[in-house]
Structure 1
Amino acid sequence: MHKPPDINEYIKSLIASPRMGDQVAWHTLTKASPSRCAEPEKPWPDAIRKILAGAGIETLYRHQAEAIDRIRSGRHVMVATPTASGKTMVYNLPVLENVLKNPASKALYLFPLKALAQDQLRTFQEMAARSPELSATAAIYDGDTSDWHRKKIRRNPPSALLTNPEMLHLSLLPHHRSWAALFADLEMVIVDEVHTYRGVMGSHMAQVFRRFLRICRYYGASPTFVFSSATVGNPGELARDLTGLGIETITQSGAPAGRKHIVFMESVRGPAQTAILLLKAALHRGLRTIVYTQSRKMTELIALWAGSRSGAFADKISPYRAGLLPEERREIEARLANGDLLAVISTSALELGIDIGDLDLCLLVGYPGTIVATWQRAGRVGRGGQDSAVILMAGEDALDQYFIRNPEDLITREPEAAVVNPYNPEILRRHLVCAAAELPLKADEPLLGKTPVLKAVAALENEGKLLRSGDGREIYSRRKAPHRDVDLRGSGSRFDIICAQTGKHKGEIDGFRAVRETHPGAVYLHNGKTYLVETLAPDTRTVKIAPAHVDYYTRVRGNKDTEILEVTGERTAWGTHVFCGRLRVTDQVTGYEKWRIHGRKRISIVPLDLPPQTFETEGLWFRIPPDIQRKAEAEYRHFMGGIHAVEHAAIGIFPLLVMTDRNDLGGISTPVHPQVGSAAVFVYDGVPGGAGLSRQAFGKAEELLAATLSVIAECPCEFGCPSCVHSPKCGSGNRPIDKAAAGFILEQIRKRTPEKLASVRPRILSPSEAAAKDRPNARPECEVFDCPGETKPSGSGPNTGAVPFGGNEAVRTTSPRVREKTGAYLPASPALPKGVTPEPGRFGVLDIETRRSAQEVGGWHRADRMGISCVVLYDSAEDRFLEYLQDQVDVLVGHLQQFDRVIGFNIKGFDYKVLTGHSDFNFKTLPTLDILEEVRKRLGYRLSLDHLARVTLGAKKSADGLQALKWWKEGRIRDIIDYCRIDVEVTRDLFLYGRENGYLLFRNKAGNTVRVPVAW
């Protein structure tokens, strides 16, 4: 008779093993817990009873019944219980009951992974099939769905639509009118594995959900939200931050749990080799095993090594990672579920709730990075109530070594908080443009009810990315389809990585990371192949790479600077003070190092000349008191190396407090910070706008200091290593680093009594001081297209822009036409920068008509050859129009030099060029406002003078350039002058209208009358 696999015998043999027993650093056995059951307050209809009976379920767990009662009453619920606690039943049963009551009822399911959707589709369909009277249907709508099926689903949405965040953002919301049948009958929204929506993606999803809710309101829907999550430290807060809704939380599981062995191993040969040996032993005992690694590459390598050494079991092992084809993933999942596979090696892709059956053993190749992920992975084994085991093989990372030395801390520590910054300004701006493209924004709607949102809207209006309607009541997006420029898993624009030889697409990288990871000369890995980066082109957002066989890898070098913009929190930690707030970080990549792969020796340092990256984020910082610095230096300790080591150790241990990865963080240590007035160590969110990570850790500042000191003091190395104070991404190559000095500094802080807070509060720069600092200019995004009413260049000048205008001086003269039109519109928000006041002065408005066309002289670039038929100039001081002919240009130039501002429409691009054919004067020296240039700078495309005049002033030109050329040939100079004078009057009135209102009006492609902000 075949003996069933016994995990207890496996663990006993491991501990007693002469070869590996001494590597077992710690072992414990958790207790089993019984099930706790309950019934919902309202009995189930017969159809639902059949579904439960068909699944062999006699009664529900207590947390399931409690959640269902709240869902049935229309309350939003977060269920945060361990893996295999039956969360699927919590939302599927109410969805099916809704369909039973109303066959038109709809539910939307959101999953972060495609594999989860496939798994849940099978579950839903199996449940629905057990009750024939139910007409519940389900379908997946994602990137693997064919065009034909997508069209069919849109036309006739199923009872349950299963999709993912990207499809919600890119398909459902921008094309909501095609989904009207879904939105109109939407009763429930299920958000599964919601703990994955944290950090940058969480900030994106907070805005996606807010956009989603406004579309629901548009169709009269008010769905009930059900959130499902692994056990996190702040489940209710997370769901509230993501949606802005009131959420009720259920965290106590009623599901049973078997006994679980927890083993920590100090792997002598390295975690991967140890995992292979443990896996071989498990296979020989018939134990169904899952091996979790920290990278795709390691997943493939362990599967390859294990398969080559496992003999008859080689075909019983499979890797599972992102990048596999959908059919490959589903085959692996099915083989695991039916027992055909004995072992799978996976990245975090199998961390979430995909059903892969009952497993016995979980091998963790390195600490997963968070308590939440550790227990999520551990929950993969023992799901059938049998005894199981989890073995952690520690790597050299700081957190791995911390838990090897403090194993009980992992067992007893509360799960980390999942942090979201709902109003990250960089992310918020992108989603506001998307929201306005979906439906015009209105002043009284909930989306605009927060101060950060109003600030972002004002900034976007000022940049011309959002356009306010003529009556001021609605706001439109300048672009029709901005959604594809928003990457939900990144903080900025995406760079395409292209093979220079073949032109094939080799992937993407976040724009924020591109300079550090794909700089010229960097070694880039893709699908196990090595490439060298040839060029990085920020203007086209492309990286070009070429295949290369090299025996080295690259490590970026650089330096950073930080400026404190705002202090939002301050507190005492041990004997010093810690602050949190907004920072401006300047990150300058200065070069890169080449390191030999074998032997890990540095080959060379290559300098780079790249522009600095400057961004605003959130951070926390510890003040290092001057007396501690003096003590360290008096004992001949390397103070800079000490605070640098403190910075690295704090970042390495940071994920102990907040659910994050050290790669999501940045740090700066400085011996003297001018605003702090002493040495300081900064740790900040490594994404523009901040992800809320440092803000969350600020509340645990003393715990962060204690854990940092513990990592340094307990590490057995002498001078520092990757387990304590070395960082793999240090811009200075971990120099200088002094582990002993770091321990001394932290011990001195622990013993010290802090000063009064008022005496150490950092100094915030005044606006004038901040303005004096050099800052790189942001390049605005734009979309060029022709607007209705725009005329193509002909006759009197091309409608092209030139160098941006920077002045704001103007006068308050108002013509009758402007006064008449101004009263018809609500006043706009001031477009001028804060603190800037326009100064009155004398201005002139200029327009020129030519004798010859562009075609006659060889193109617009030869405007100096076109000749002058007439010039009309308006003088605001004299309030009259002056006329000049070609032989009077010198007199005209003298008059232009008297003005505080010369105004025209395309004056820089055309009129001045015409004048250069008749004068040696440098017209660039004149203080000039070019209205066409200002409008194009805001919108990214051109508008004609006639279009702006008709929409803004209700006026129009009396002729055009071609007519003026014809009149010249006929000798009708007076007609040309009269036509030119009207153009000058219209240009003047546009200037005055913009001066009084802060905007001009035009008609966009959708036919809406909207404002373009102006600042003169």
Structure 2
Amino acid sequence: MNVESFLARLTRDRHYRDQIAATRCIEPRAAEYRTPVSALPDRLSRLLTAENIEQLYWHQADALDATGAGENFVVCTGTASGKSLCFHLPVFSSLIDDPGSRALYLFPSKALAYDQLGNLERMVAAAGIGDIAKPGCYDGDTPTSKRPGIRRSASMLLTNPDMLHISVLPYHAKWAGFFARLKYVILDEIHSYRGIFGSHVAGVVRRLQRVAEHYGASPQFLCASATLGNPRELAERLTGRPMRLIDRDGSPRGRRWFVLWNPPWVDDATRISRRSANVEAQRLMEALLEAGAGTIAFGKARVVAELLYKYLQESLTQRKRPDLAARIRPYRGGYLPLERREIEQALFSGRLLGVCSTNALELGIDVGSLDAAILIGFPSTLCSLWQQAGRAGRRQDESLAIFVAYDDPVDQYLMRNAEFIFDKPLEKAVIDPQNPLIQAAQLGCAAFELPLSADDLARFGGNAAEVADAMAEDAKLRQTDGRYFWSSPDFAAAKVDLRTISSATYAIVEERDGKREVLGNVDSISAPELIYPGAVYLHQGESYLVRELDCSAKLARVERQEVDYYTQPVLASECRIVGQRLTEPIRFVGDGSERGRRCFGDVLVKWQTTAFRKFKFYTTELIGQTKADLPPQTINTSGCWFQPPPDALAALRDAGHKAFEALSGIRNLLVVVLPTLAMSDRYDIGGVVDSSQLGVSTIILYDRYEGGVGYCRHGYECASDLLRMAAELLEGCGCENGCPGCVGPPNLRVAIHHDPDLYRGYEFPDKAATQVLLRAWLALRGPVA
């Protein structure tokens, strides 16, 4: 693909109105090769020949050398750099030397596991080692009848942390032969393991280690990550093992173009709103497809992927291009397993030229050779943005990534300040395996599997011994002869959800001509936002009207119907303080001054679909609103809340600023800085500004997890440090009026099931007001200390 020629044609198109806000060209890079210290077995040399690999890239040779030296490693290189060979080759070599050895592959999603299963089967056949290398996938989709055979014969087991947690480790006796011969554990896409999920996965990995050791094995850990701010630190926290970082990327890279595309004003005179980002993306993707460019588009919500596909189908059909219409598909969560895999295989094989996806294809599923990626809206982190952009140009050819902005404050800031994308360091992934509440959940599961000894508790680190003692006092564990035993009749793993969302799902069923067909599924948290009665459910270009939502049967009945609109839920939410446990003044170390008040207690977070709106396709014109009668969803959790001193609020008023603006800015800053102290991810913490409940202006932060996990308790204890760090972040930011790096909303966007085209998002709070209140709160007269 000649990107410069394509962009030149775009600028001559009749729809072009100076949409290109910035362009960056990333120059190509030549391959860097190296020979590993130890030669590969002959059969693996045949494999490389079959894969058209003449030499190994530098990082691949590094990985082989590290494995041969008995080291654990994490390889962190770019998209399509051949990371998979870094662990496939050591596993194959081990099987050739010792056919009885075993390898466990852990992937964050089932789709990734099945993608790698296909790659492994192909490589095993090419190497001629099918007699000793037997890959098998073991997850929730694996038929019960096939599971015993996989347990007996799989030498390479592919699964996910959830399955390992609930279906393998608790039944380790059935897997005794596998664990006894376990040599390698592969953790792929570890950048996905962050926050509460990552902290739980770290506990699962420690449980895996002790079960393996129980059967006499001590496996090496081979990890891989997309580009990330702290890959070695994350891998070491996940595994509890020292890691060698391999980040010298030897793979070649073609020239890459990155374009920031800002939809034009609907009316240049009034400049009230911009043209639909979804429609702009449709026109861009259509132009790319017509140019023969394999293209992937990433939407921020399921509805975006479906709308984009619908718009493309209708436009290409009207323009008499059925050849192109037949070669695009949507891809998102909620599709049935067979449907997902059929799309993945069609994309990999080249039968599809384009795909309209959510972030479901952001991870390393092999999508074949693509020329372009369209990113519709900022995907919330720079890591995700570069990961999505990297899905194009997966070979050495020239490629193009286009970031299409929504008309919201974050996207528009990035259009004006491209350096935020190109020059800012990537985010770090944060986990805390020693969080007491997460540790208690994992210790309970571990005790169910095998009694806990003092050495076992040391493996979990932190205050694991104290946590076990507390669990014994609560009769969750029983201590006998210096060991802790699970004392409940309950199945421990069933009580622990790694991903913090309900595992229950609703089936979406079409009833037609007396037959019932399951179209897809949706998790129980999302169901009231997607499949309420009257909703239009979009699926593979078809519109279905939801006739009934049966919450007891977890079933939505739908009917195919042609309509000229789609629907969006109207959500009402609140955060209520229901009980105060602790309160005292905020004291600052040094002068001991008391400035404002801090509290900790119980909060109730509630949200509900109260109505739904109908919007015209393409124009997004609002054509109606209907009330919805659905039960609310709630989280009972813990929170901390802070109140500034009266003199600080008076100083704010005297300066002519609004309190809500300043408090909102400080809330956003606290949501950003608290994770650095509480070892959480910013998406694990929510926040609101409220003055009605307590009769005084209050910032409330809460754990986004049922029962709380201690993050806001930590925030309460470190209140003075939090406020100082917020002030340092604010004053250290060089922006003029606020940006995503300071007072901009960190995670307070509308629900993920909304079409971002319809919502302007949250405006940036006034930076000047935030600064005045924060400085007055801290009684600062000079720079932040």
The offset of 1:564, in angstroms, is 8.4
- Give per-residue Cα distances to partners, 1:72-112, cap 9 Å, x unaligned: 11111111111111111111111111112111111111112
Picking from 474, 480, 488, the partner of 1:463 is 474
Letter in 2 for 1:616: S
User: Is it true that 1:509 corresponds to 2:529 in the alignment?
Assistant: no
Aligned to 1:342: 353
User: Is it true that 1:743 corresponds to 2:767 in the alignment?
Assistant: yes
TM-score, length of structure 2 as denominator length: 0.79
Picking from 466, 472, 481, the partner of 2:491 is 481
- Conserved in 2, the CA contact under 8 Å of 1:555 and 1:594? yes
- Conserved in 1, the CA contact under 8 Å of 2:377 and 2:403? yes
- Conserved in 2, the CA contact under 8 Å of 1:399 and 1:656? no
Picking from 279, 287, 291, the partner of 1:273 is 279
Q: 1:25 to 1:692 in 2, by over 3 A?
A: farther
Q: 1:212 to 1:24 in 2, by over 3 A?
A: same
The structure with the largest alpha-carbon Rg is: 1
Aligned to 2:29: 33
User: Is it true that 1:153 corresponds to 2:164 in the alignment?
Assistant: no
Q: 1:275 to 1:7 in 2, by over 3 A?
A: same
Aligned to 2:604: 587
User: Is it true that 1:135 corresponds to 2:132 in the alignment?
Assistant: yes
- Give per-residue Cα distances to partners, 1:349-404, cap 9 Å, x unaligned: 21111222211110011112211111111111112211111000111344322311
Q: 1:579 to 1:65 in 2, by over 3 A?
A: farther
Distance in 2 (CA, whole Å) between partners of 1:239 and 1:738 is 35
- Conserved in 1, the CA contact under 8 Å of 2:548 and 2:556? yes
User: Is it true that 1:304 corresponds to 2:310 in the alignment?
Assistant: yes
Aligned to 1:416: 427
Task: Give the match's secondary structure for 2:223.
Answer: strand
TM-score, length of structure 1 as denominator length: 0.62
Identity of aligned residues (%): 32
Task: Give the match's secondary structure for 1:161.
Answer: strand
- Mapping of residues 514-525 of structure 1, within 5 Å: none
User: Is it true that 1:686 corresponds to 2:710 in the alignment?
Assistant: no
Aligned to 1:554: 570
Distance in 2 (CA, whole Å) between partners of 1:150 and 1:711 is 60
- Conserved in 1, the CA contact under 8 Å of 2:347 and 2:367? yes
Q: 1:369 to 1:641 in 2, by over 3 A?
A: closer
Task: Give the match's secondary structure for 1:100.
Answer: helix
Q: 1:517 to 1:301 in 2, by over 3 A?
A: closer
The offset of 1:31, in angstroms, is 1.2
Distance in 2 (CA, whole Å) between partners of 1:586 and 1:296 is 30
Distance in 2 (CA, whole Å) between partners of 1:594 and 1:668 is 23
Q: 1:144 to 1:186 in 2, by over 3 A?
A: same
Picking from 373, 376, 380, the partner of 1:369 is 380
Q: 1:179 to 1:299 in 2, by over 3 A?
A: same
- Give per-residue Cα distances to partners, 1:583-630, cap 9 Å, x unaligned: 53412549875464457799899999989854236x7x8885655421
Distance in 1 (CA, whole Å) between partners of 2:762 and 2:89 is 59
Letter in 2 for 1:269: R
Picking from 446, 449, 466, the partner of 1:438 is 449
- Deviation larger for 703-712 or 19-28: 703-712
- Give per-residue Cα distances to partners, 1:258-304, cap 9 Å, x unaligned: 11111111123221100100011111111111111112222122111
Q: 1:455 to 1:602 in 2, by over 3 A?
A: farther
- Mapping of residues 611-650 of structure 1, within 5 Å: 614-616=636-638, 626-634=646-654, 637-644=657-664, 647=667
Task: Give the match's secondary structure for 1:341.
Answer: coil
Task: Give the match's secondary structure for 2:356.
Answer: strand
The offset of 1:345, in angstroms, is 0.8
Q: 1:580 to 1:252 in 2, by over 3 A?
A: farther
- Conserved in 1, the CA contact under 8 Å of 2:608 and 2:633? no
Letter in 1 for 2:709: G
- Give per-residue Cα distances to partners, 1:304-354, cap 9 Å, x unaligned: 110111132110111112232333333322322332211111111211112
Aligned to 2:289: 283
Distance in 2 (CA, whole Å) between partners of 1:224 and 1:154 is 21
Task: Give the match's secondary structure for 1:70.
Answer: helix
Q: 1:700 to 1:307 in 2, by over 3 A?
A: farther
CA RMSD of aligned residues (A): 4.8
Aligned to 1:227: 223
Letter in 2 for 1:631: A
Q: 1:602 to 1:587 in 2, by over 3 A?
A: farther
- Between the two proteins, the alignment pairs up a number of residues equal to 725
Picking from 80, 83, 88, the partner of 1:87 is 83
- Give per-residue Cα distances to partners, 1:801-845, cap 9 Å, x unaligned: xxxxxxxxxxxxxxxxxxxxxxxxxxxxxxxxxxxxxxxxxxxxx
Task: Give the match's secondary structure for 1:173.
Answer: helix
Q: 1:636 to 1:672 in 2, by over 3 A?
A: farther
Aligned to 1:181: 177
- Mapping of residues 752-763 of structure 1, within 5 Å: 754-755=778-779
Distance in 1 (CA, whole Å) between partners of 2:217 and 2:674 is 42
Distance in 1 (CA, whole Å) between partners of 2:37 and 2:165 is 37
Q: 1:754 to 1:146 in 2, by over 3 A?
A: closer
Letter in 2 for 1:420: I
Letter in 1 for 2:769: I
Q: 1:750 to 1:21 in 2, by over 3 A?
A: farther
The offset of 1:727, in angstroms, is 5.4
Letter in 2 for 1:322: G
Letter in 2 for 1:392: F
Distance in 2 (CA, whole Å) between partners of 1:230 and 1:76 is 17
- Conserved in 1, the CA contact under 8 Å of 2:595 and 2:778? no
Picking from 51, 54, 59, the partner of 1:55 is 51
Distance in 2 (CA, whole Å) between partners of 1:673 and 1:756 is 29
Task: Give the match's secondary structure for 1:52.
Answer: helix
Task: Give the match's secondary structure for 1:37.
Answer: coil
Q: Which runs of 5+ in 1 are unaligned?
A: 537-541, 716-720, 731-736, 761-1016
Q: 1:243 to 1:41 in 2, by over 3 A?
A: same
Q: 1:20 to 1:627 in 2, by over 3 A?
A: farther
Distance in 1 (CA, whole Å) between partners of 2:529 and 2:713 is 23
The offset of 1:488, in angstroms, is 2.0
Picking from 702, 705, 716, the partner of 2:730 is 705
Task: Give the match's secondary structure for 1:47.
Answer: helix
The offset of 1:191, in angstroms, is 0.8
- Give per-residue Cα distances to partners, 1:717-765, cap 9 Å, x unaligned: xxxx9989985479xxxxxx997983332242587795489xx9xxxxx
Task: Give the match's secondary structure for 1:616.
Answer: strand
Picking from 298, 304, 320, the partner of 1:292 is 298
Letter in 1 for 2:411: D
Distance in 1 (CA, whole Å) between partners of 2:626 and 2:441 is 41
Relative contact order: is structure 1 or structure 2 higher (C-alpha 8 Å, sep ≥ 6)?
2
The offset of 1:714, in angstroms, is 7.2
- Conserved in 1, the CA contact under 8 Å of 2:652 and 2:772? no
Letter in 1 for 2:495: D
Letter in 2 for 1:584: G
User: Is it true that 1:238 corresponds to 2:234 in the alignment?
Assistant: yes
Distance in 2 (CA, whole Å) between partners of 1:551 and 1:603 is 9
The offset of 1:41, in angstroms, is 1.7
Aligned to 1:999: none
The offset of 1:428, in angstroms, is 2.9
Aligned to 2:104: 108
Letter in 2 for 1:207: G
Aligned to 2:203: 207
Aligned to 1:875: none
Letter in 2 for 1:283: L
Distance in 2 (CA, whole Å) between partners of 1:163 and 1:606 is 40
Picking from 312, 328, 332, the partner of 1:321 is 332
Q: 1:667 to 1:175 in 2, by over 3 A?
A: same
- Conserved in 2, the CA contact under 8 Å of 1:657 and 1:704? no
The offset of 1:632, in angstroms, is 2.7
Distance in 2 (CA, whole Å) between partners of 1:168 and 1:329 is 22
Q: 1:649 to 1:600 in 2, by over 3 A?
A: farther
